[in-house]
Structure 1
Amino acid sequence: MSLARAGRIARLNRPCRPHVASRFSSSHAGEHDQHHHDAHADAIAFPREDFSAPIWRRFILYSLLAVGFYKFAPSPKEDNPFSRFLDQYRTPQEVWAAVNLKHLELSAQSQVDNLLVAEAKRPPVHRFRYPQAFEQYSPHLRPIGTTVDFGDLVIKGDKA
C-alpha cells in the first residue's frame, strides 16, 4: 500500500473537529447557573389546581343539562310539537323501502351481467390446415349417401 493512500485512510478514520471552538468552563459557571435558576423559579406562578377551574364548571353544567333533558324529554311515541316538526321534513319509510328494493334489483341485474361477460367464450373456429382436401377425392365410384355435396362450399380466404 502506498504512503499516500495510507495517509488518506488515516485522515478518514480520524474524528473531525468542529469548526467552532468549544467553550471551556470556568470556576464561577456553577454559581452563575444556580443564581440564574433561582431567579426564574420565583417569577413563574402556576395556577391553583382544583375543581374550581372553568372547564370543570362547564362539564358539570353540561352534564346536568344532559341528564335533565334525558329525564324530562318526551318519549319517541308521544305526540309533541318537536316530533311533528321533524316529521314534516323526514322522508317516509315507504319511499326508502322502494328505493332500497330498486337498488337491490339493479345490483342483482348488474351481477348477472357481470357473470355473463366473465364467463363468455368465443365460439370455436375449426380451421383446416389443408382445405384443398375437400377437392382431393374423386366424386365417382362412391356409394350413394356416403358423401356430402361440397359443391357450394366456399372456403374463407378464397376470392373466387
Structure 2
Amino acid sequence: MSLLASRAVRVARTRLAHRNASTNHAGEHTNYPKEDFVTPFWRNALIAAGLVVAAYKYAPEPGKDVYLTRWIAMYTTPVGEWLKRSVSRAAAQEVEAENTRLMMSARRPLVHRYRYPQSFEQASPFVIGVGSQVQLDDVVVKRE
C-alpha cells in the first residue's frame, strides 16, 4: 500500500474508535426502581393535603377575629391616634410652609448709592448751614 492509503486507513480506524454514538448494549439489562405511589414525595404530598383540609375545616369564620389578629391589634396603635397624629402633622407642615413662603418672599432693603458722596461736605467745614444753629447762651433751666 502506498503511504497515502495507509494514512487514510489509520484515520478511518481512529474515527470509528472515537464515534459520538455508543455501541454498548449493556443498558438493556439495567434494573430500574419500581415506580409507584409509595415514595417519600407522595407521602409528603398526602400529609400536606391532610393538613390543608384540617386547617380549612377548623379555621375560624370570616366574621370572627382570629387569636393572632386580636394579639396584633393589642400591640398596635389605634386608628384615632394615627388620625390625631396626621392632623397635628398637617398643621405643623402648614405653619412650616407659611414660614418658608414668608422667607422666600422677603426682599433685601433698597440701597441708595450716590454718584458723588463728597457733595455732602461742600457746604461748611462742620456740616452746619448758616442760620440753622440756635443761640442758647441766655436759656435758664427751671428747677423745683
Normalising by structure 2, what TM-score? 0.45
Q: Which has the higher contact order (CA 8 A, sep 6+)?
A: 1
Indicate the structure (1 or 2) with the bigger Cα radius of gyration: 2
